[in-house]
Structure 1
Amino acid sequence: MRNWEAIQGIKLINEDFLKTRIPENSIDLIVTSPPYNVGIPYNSHNDKITYKDYLIWTEKWLTKAFQLSKPDGRMCLNIPLDKNKGGQQSVYADIVYLAKKIGWKYHSTIIWNEGNISRRTAWGSWLSASAPYVIAPVETIVILYKETWKKQKRGKSDILREEFIEWTNGLWTFSGESKKKIGHPAPFPFELPKRCIKLFSYVGDVILDPFLGSGTTAIAAFRLKRKVIGVEIDKKYFELAIKRISKQCFRLEGF
């Protein structure tokens, strides 16, 4: 395990999230996108296990996240609607079911239109009713909370009127992030954590990303004057996150 706390308000942990010792009931908002189990070549995570094992692992980390969240803690969970690699699976429905089983309460779902329909290559039976594939060019952001949806303490909101009106509409449209540009096989765009953090947390709140990847959630949280804890199991991507955060946040250091 390695910790990195070179910038005030940012704590990075290079460890398996399930093994971390983050205090329970300490997190205001979780913003994350876990591995999708679609064969992405991570260095320290097998992204091609059986779907049954994937759901077992998902239940474990959702349970850990539940324990760490405050009673009014929330989670913005970016997951696919479904998947077709290795057989059709209702990923969104199955993960929401698991979350509710653990104790998470369901609030709503935001549909993220990434606009990547032109990239699709799997059609099933071409021009035939034999066995066509239906693929939705969207992802979901599931909004969950622990015990109470209404925040128990007053805080400072920094969301603008125009942002609030636009972002409370449950269909978000913005492009995904370039793998080549970031250097990570599955980065999500800055816009995603920025919107979630401004809409669902106060200035000064504690944000957690248990699958930090290239560090985007931490960068967004810091820029928005929140404290952030990022956990990344992979050493290579942990170092990438440090590099990106150092470059983009050092000049902004200090709330």
Structure 2
Amino acid sequence: MKYLTDKKTKELKIRLKWNIFEKLKEISILEEKSFNYIVNELLDKILNKNLKTNNIQQFFTEKTNLVFDKENIKLYHNDFIKVDFSKYKGKINLIITSPPYNLSIDYGKHNDNLDYEDYLYFTKSWLEKSYQLLADDGRICVNIPLDKNKNGLKPIYADFVEVAKEVGFKYQSTIVWNEQNISRRTAWGSWLSASAPYVIAPVEMIVVMYKNQWKRLKKGESSIERDEFIEWTNGVWTFPGESKKRIGHPAPFPIELPKRCIKLFSYKDDLILDPFVGSGTTLISAYQEGRKAIGVEIDENYVNLSIKRLQEIPKNSYLFSV
């Protein structure tokens, strides 16, 4: 039997309807939890639900700053967590993004060196905002590392999935992206010894989750080819990463990544969102694949980089494969 152990408790006399009392007693027996524990658990859920509803308002306070609007592609120079995207609530079909990894990368305006608990809080905040914006059958594809060993080993992928589930997302699958990037590390932990060796996998993960329903409510027009579908539904994707120097961003992902997610998980004319635009790759791919897209970027330098790259796309280039 599980009991309350928190010292910060108060004893109160309350009146319960007889049928409610009997139900609670029944749940207490089935769950093997004390009556007091069950009552507190239920009240916590109610209070947290109301608190969450009130806190959602903080995610829609910053006035939008639209800096690029062309051919169904919109780019906003804003903080995603704060920007007022009320008009997009329940309308996003697919989110594709690669959030900051908290690896002390110089992203400019974003602090990429948070305490891990603060990083998880940041993760929960942008996921809660994303959840509000997705349609009921909306999906999300997030490119994150499997783990990190800088400043202490942390299971980023595992923690991300747990946080996303807490927010309300439902898990669908995970794609392993094999970048073929063989590590040049010189630290193996205990060299040639079982004392404390370090194992590092040179892969990244693409977590695929959804809001309420995985199957799309309305059928649209797909753009994926037969051979692409067969290859990409295999959960290990092998293609090289992108050059930081060529793009001008410290952590760009290759256009192949959003292209595959867009063609596999969305219909033509769907609305795509990237909350952390960076160098603009998701927006470029969305345009090339005939989708609508909106993106948000907090750093002015990367906003300008994205605009430059978007302006260089040939008109109607979505008719051709990348």
TM > 0.5: yes
Corresponding residue for residue 140 of structure 1: 205
Secondary structure, in 3 states, of the residue corresponding to 1:19? Answer: coil
1:82 aligns with 2:147: yes
Corresponding residue for residue 104 of structure 2: 39
1:26 aligns with 2:91: yes
Secondary structure, in 3 states, of the residue corresponding to 1:5? Answer: strand
Corresponding residue for residue 14 of structure 1: 77
Q: Which amino acid aligns with 1:15?
A: N
1:180-237: CA deviations, max 9, x gaps? 0000000000000000000000000000000000000000000000000010000000
Secondary structure, in 3 states, of the residue corresponding to 1:108? Answer: strand
Structure 1 stretches of 4+ with a deviation exceeding 4 A read: none
Q: 1:253 Cα deviation (Å)?
A: 7.3
- What is the TM-score normalised by the length of structure 2? 0.77
Corresponding residue for residue 252 of structure 1: 316
Identity level (%): 61
Rg (Cα) greater in structure:
2
Alpha-carbon distance change, 121 to 46 in structure 1, aligned in 2, over 3 angstroms? farther
Corresponding residue for residue 11 of structure 2: none
CA distance in 2 between partners of 1:54 and 1:254 (Å): 36
CA distance in 1 between partners of 2:317 and 2:183 (Å): 40
CA distance in 2 between partners of 1:254 and 1:224 (Å): 5
Secondary structure, in 3 states, of the residue corresponding to 2:165? Answer: helix
What is the count of residue pairs matched by the alignment? 254
Name the Cα RMSD after superposition. Answer: 1.4
Higher relative contact order (CA 8 A, sep 6+): 1
1:169 aligns with 2:234: yes
Q: Which amino acid aligns with 2:71?
A: Q
CA distance in 1 between partners of 2:94 and 2:162 (Å): 20
Alpha-carbon distance change, 91 to 69 in structure 1, aligned in 2, over 3 angstroms? same
CA distance in 1 between partners of 2:318 and 2:102 (Å): 38
Corresponding residue for residue 235 of structure 1: 300
Q: Which amino acid aligns with 1:203?
A: K
Corresponding residue for residue 130 of structure 1: 195
- What is the TM-score normalised by the length of structure 1? 0.96
Q: Which amino acid aligns with 1:197?
A: I
Q: 1:163 Cα deviation (Å)?
A: 0.1
Structure 1: state its 5+ residue gaps: none
Q: Which moved more, 1:198-207 or 1:16-25?
A: 16-25
CA distance in 2 between partners of 1:222 and 1:33 (Å): 18
Structure 2: state its 5+ residue gaps: 1-63
